[in-house]
Amino acid sequence: LAKTTQPISMDSYEGQEVNITCSHNNIATNDYITWYQQFPSQGPRFIIQGYKTKVTNEVASLFIPADRKSSTLSLPRVSLSDTAVYYCLVGDPPDSNYQLIWGAGTKLIIKP
């Protein structure tokens, strides 16, 4: 699996747009990029997944440049309830040797 690097923590304010960037220099041709959100003492929640360019859903947007060595999760107009840990994962499921490896994630704190 490609290794990912994310900032350990970020702060922002309510109403702002937040962009969290993930670096994955060794991404393979078949790899997809997936982001999860986790609140304390809860299981992670799938947010968005993409392969290239831009993907948007009702929660977030995912921007992936042409070289795919990084990706940016964009959260529009955040609120206090967006305070959580955000994880970026990269891989090509599934195969017999496949397992998800989770990094430390980015702890996002939204202030009033």
Partner 1 sequence: KAGVTQTPRYLIKTRGQQVTLSCSPISGHRSVSWYQQTPGQGLQFLFEYFSETQRNKGNFPGRFSGRQFSNSRSEMNVSTLELGDSALYLCASSSRGGLEQYFGPGTRLTVT
Q: Which residues bind partner 1 (CB under 8 A)?
A: 32, 34, 41-46, 49, 87, 89, 91-94, 96-105
Nearer to partner 1, 28 or 104 (CB): 104
Nearer to partner 1, 16 or 56 (CB): 56
* Nearest distance from C-beta of residue 21 to partner 1, angstroms: 19
Nearer to partner 1, 3 or 111 (CB): 3
User: Which whole-number Å values give the CA distances from 34 to 11, 12, 16, 80, 98, in the listed order?
Assistant: 22, 22, 23, 23, 15
* Nearest distance from C-beta of residue 27 to partner 1, angstroms: 13
> Which helix (H) or strand (E) element contains residue 54?
strand 53-56
For residue 6, how many other CB atoms are within 10 A of its CB?
22
Helix (H, G, I), strand (E, B) or coil at 81: helix
